[in-house]
């Protein structure tokens, strides 16, 4: 181990003072950060060393000490042969240093090896629904290029980026991926990258759009409101309290952030985005009201059709109640024409019911007469006459005829009784 350290230190000194050893872009790191929703980050690092003027037996990397207990499953192997490499580590006050040992390389020989490991409990929730992941590596050279690609958990979106300046965004296996490129600028100078991301807003908007497309406007409105609440909470990033917010993060989570990219590049874009969501909420309300009107109109029309069948079958009492219900539905819809038509039918039902009752009394009077119950027949015909008079029926005259006939027979019977 001592021999490796001496070689490394010597190598670093030579590299530091002979910048022509490796030109910008010839030697580089390729970092792949696969951020999992579970809080774990899988890291894959490909190290590419080119045209080094001295022999090499190992290479080292220094990570922030906070990762010491969280780094697991670390392995290293030569990229071409997949030959396993030995890994040594040394702990310091602020960082942990890993040494990756490979077969000796002579001057000018290329070195390519891969390091893989997992970071557990890798990010923190800096505000409700927003997680933050950052990575820091201390450089031991001033000629390396760091190519970094971070893949976010499926269904999430970038809220802001800190420290490193993103150069591009892409889709990778259905997830958002961010591309960075940074240059080592001196011995012991940290390369740092931080990403804040969330699934809340994106998920709510996707559910809202799906519900809207399915004409489920009530659910769509609810999802849009959830999205609006989330995105409005991000106003702290764009308002006067940004410094206070970042200061609070430093106090709460020991995070010193320097934002380099926001999801919305300007306040104007942010305000316009919120306005568009509010417009969607209003549209959902309008569509929901229109849909309710359509349902009510369908119900009213169906009720009206059913009532007509009752009316035509002579069930006037049931029909009258149903016409009144249909009338109420049409009135609530503002359809005065159909409401008036329902009232006309209801009035007809009232008249026809009274006519039915009068006819029933009339028929009962005839049966009573035929059975010889003259007193009962007389009373029934009188009741029938009153109802016919109320509805203006000419059958009232026929009732009069029956009444006179019955009265005559009753008088005759009374006369016969007096003769005896």
Q: What span, in angstroms and rounded, lies between the C-alpha atoms of 70 and 133?
A: 13
Write down the pLDDT at residue 8.
Answer: 34
How would you classify the pairing of strands 259-262 and 157-162? antiparallel
Write down the pLDDT at residue 171.
Answer: 85
CA atoms within 13 A on the CB side of 223: 19
Write down the pLDDT at residue 294.
Answer: 67
Each residue's pLDDT, cut to its tens digit, for the chain (420 residues) gives 333 333 333 233 223 223 334 454 588 999 999 999 999 999 999 999 988 888 999 999 999 898 999 999 999 999 989 999 999 999 988 889 999 999 899 998 999 999 999 999 999 999 999 999 999 888 777 778 899 999 999 999 999 999 999 999 998 777 899 999 988 777 777 889 999 999 999 999 999 999 999 999 999 999 999 999 999 999 999 887 788 888 888 888 888 888 999 999 889 999 999 999 999 999 999 988 887 776 777 777 877 777 777 777 676 777 777 777 777 777 877 787 877 877 887 777 777 777 778 788 888 888 988 888 888 888 888 888 888 888 888 888 888 888 888 888 888 777 655 554
Encoding tokens for residue 384?
């029938």
């Amino acid at each position: 181990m001592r021999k490796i350290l001496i070689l490394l230190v010597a190598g670093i000194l030579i590299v530091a003072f002979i910048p022509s050893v490796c030109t910008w872009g010839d030697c580089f790191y390729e970092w792949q950060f696969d951020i999992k929703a579970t809080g774990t980050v899988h890291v894959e690092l490909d190290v590419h060393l080119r045209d080094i003027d001295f022999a090499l037996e190992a290479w080292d990397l220094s990570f922030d000490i906070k990762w010491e207990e969280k780094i697991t499953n670390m392995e290293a192997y030569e990229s071409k042969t997949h030959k396993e490499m030995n890994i040594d580590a040394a702990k310091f006050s602020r960082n942990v240093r890993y040494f990756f040992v490979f077969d000796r390389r002579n001057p000018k020989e290329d070195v390519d090896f891969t390091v893989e490991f997992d970071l557990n409990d890798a990010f923190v929730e800096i505000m409700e629904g927003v997680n933050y992941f950052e990575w820091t590596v201390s450089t031991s050279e001033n000629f390396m290029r760091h190519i970094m690609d971070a893949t976010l958990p499926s269904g999430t979106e970038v809220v802001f980026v800190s420290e490193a300046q993103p150069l591009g965004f892409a889709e990778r296996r259905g997830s958002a991926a961010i591309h960075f490129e940074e240059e080592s600028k001196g011995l012991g100078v940290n390369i740092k990258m931080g990403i804040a991301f969330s699934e809340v807003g994106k998920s709510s908007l996707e559910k809202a759009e799906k519900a809207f497309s399915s004409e489920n406007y009530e659910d769509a409105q609810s999802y849009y409101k959830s999205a609006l609440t989330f995105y409005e909470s991000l106003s702290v990033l764009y308002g006067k309290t940004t410094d206070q917010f970042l200061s609070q993060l430093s106090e709460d989570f020991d995070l010193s952030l320097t934002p380099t990219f926001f999801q919305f590049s300007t306040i104007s874009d942010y305000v316009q985005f919120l306005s568009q969501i509010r417009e969607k909420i209003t549209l959902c309300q309008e569509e929901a009201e229109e849909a309710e009107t359509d349902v009510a109109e369908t119900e009213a029309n169906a009720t009206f059709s059913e009532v007509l069948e009752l009316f035509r079958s002579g069930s006037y009492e049931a029909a009258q109640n149903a016409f009144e219900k249909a009338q109420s539905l049409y009135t609530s819809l503002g359809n005065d024409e159909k409401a008036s038509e329902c009232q006309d039918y209801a009035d007809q039902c009232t008249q026809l019911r009274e006519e039915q009752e009068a006819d029933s009394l009339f028929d009962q009077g005839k049966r009573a007469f035929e059975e010889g119950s003259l007193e009962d027949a007389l009373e029934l015909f009188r009741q029938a006459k009153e109802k016919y008079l109320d509805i203006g029926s000419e059958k009232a005259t026929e009732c009069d005829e029956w009444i006179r006939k019955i009265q005559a027979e009753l008088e005759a019977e009374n006369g016969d009784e007096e003769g005896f």
